[in-house]
Copies of this chain bind each other. A is one copy, B any other.
């Protein structure tokens, strides 16, 4: 099948989803060891196929360079020995995670003798729509599988050769473990109609998880008829309270903004308590590190290299070495600013005052709220989840990093002895 021929994207995707549903019924009851074995086999096969994967990736990179992709996109796309080892290692890490399927959430016996329990079961069929990063093929496939789901992967056209090469290893791993190859399927065409068909597949696909830039996520959230777990923006705030330790405030600001500027957990806005004693070293350190500081007039008066912020800056996710900075009037000013401009992703306070910290943790309505820690920790791996399939700023089902548990639901089991309802 080639992209040049007209295809019926809906028929293609729906057919994949029907096969995925059949595979999901098997996966839902597959023992943990078998799912883990599939991933261990896949990791071994992936290491053995490193040369072939790198060759496929070189094709993708050459094509992307010819197409003039940005250097950031090229960096996401490019694989090397180390990254392949990382992908294989991640498969093994997921294989070692505790299996959520079948675990009992709670159990109660009713006065009439009915015994009720809630047990975790897989979501069913998960659709992943992603761009650029070939490692998502392996990470998402592994997490979905370990949680007992069938998955339909739709990677970006720029990474198609790399994705297919990695997908081949996953399928070989499934087959080596005696699990259905349809458990991890890869959409074999890269035209956008396939994305539309996935988003419309109500009842066939249970949840869609988009991984990629804002354009992709916005389209998915706008068009999807299938439930979506995602975040659109990470407009994250670091608030330096009057009671902040200056050394921590400095280190956390630099790390939260600049460790990696392109990740969704990067801080985008710095809020400084007007009562904080000495903001100048923090602003200077940002500028020294090559970060563009966009500030209010008060900020500009302190740091001469700062440039004026305009109204849009408070609502912008830069994903670059740019930071918006303003003074606020203490905790209330900080939480009001975050409520007005935040994206419910990750927000942090720096303070030595526990009461202020706890008030911030309670009041800020974000998926992740931090005290004296860098917003760059907003990551499933850092949270001990083994990996993550995405970060959700939605309010239903799963919030923050989504990993195995977020890929399950539950059912109620009721065990009786013949009870009828009066």
Contact = CB atoms under 8 A, between A and B. Distances in A.
Interface of A: 25, 28-29, 108, 110, 114, 116, 121, 123-124, 206-207, 227, 245, 247-248, 251-252, 254-256, 259, 339, 348, 357, 361-363, 365-374, 376-377, 382-384, 394-397, 399-401, 409-421
Given A124-B395, A377-B414, 17 more contacts: A108-B384, A116-B383, A227-B396, A251-B420, A255-B421, A366-B411, A367-B411, A368-B412, A369-B413, A370-B414, A370-B415, A371-B415, A373-B418, A377-B421, A396-B397, A399-B409, A400-B411
A17 to B, nearest CB: 14
A400 B414 CA distance: 12
29 contacts: A25-B365, A29-B362, A110-B382, A110-B383, A116-B383, A123-B396, A207-B395, A207-B396, A227-B396, A247-B418, A248-B418, A255-B421, A256-B420, A259-B421, A368-B414, A369-B411, A370-B415, A372-B419, A373-B414, A373-B415, A373-B416, A373-B419, A376-B421, A377-B419, A382-B421, A396-B409, A399-B409, A399-B410, A399-B412
B395 A206 contact: yes
Contact of A370 (B252, B256, B416): B416
Nearest to A117: B361
Nearest to A371: B415
Q: Which of A207, A363, A373 counts the most B-chain CB atoms under 10 A from its CB?
A: A373
Contacts of A255: 420-421
Given A365-B411, A414-B370, A206 B420 contact: no
Looking at chain A's contact residues, the main secondary structure is mixed
A227 B226 CA distance: 10
Number of copies: 2
A384 to B, nearest CB: 6
A395 B149 CA distance: 12
A24 to B, nearest CB: 9
Contacts of A363: 29
Contact of A420 (B29, B252, B396): B252
A116 B382 CA distance: 10
A259 B420 contact: yes
Ranked 6 nearest A-B pairs via Cβ: A373-B416, A255-B420, A248-B418, A397-B397, A370-B414, A376-B421
A369 B412 contact: yes
Contacts of A413: 361, 369-371
Given A28-B365, A411-B367, A374 B124 contact: no
Given A383-B116, A399-B410, A372 B123 contact: no
A251 B418 CA distance: 8
Contacts of A369: 411-414
Nearest to A350: B418
A384 B112 CA distance: 11
Contact of A373 (B114, B227, B247): B114
A236 to B, nearest CB: 12
Contact of A412 (B396, B400, B417, B421): B400
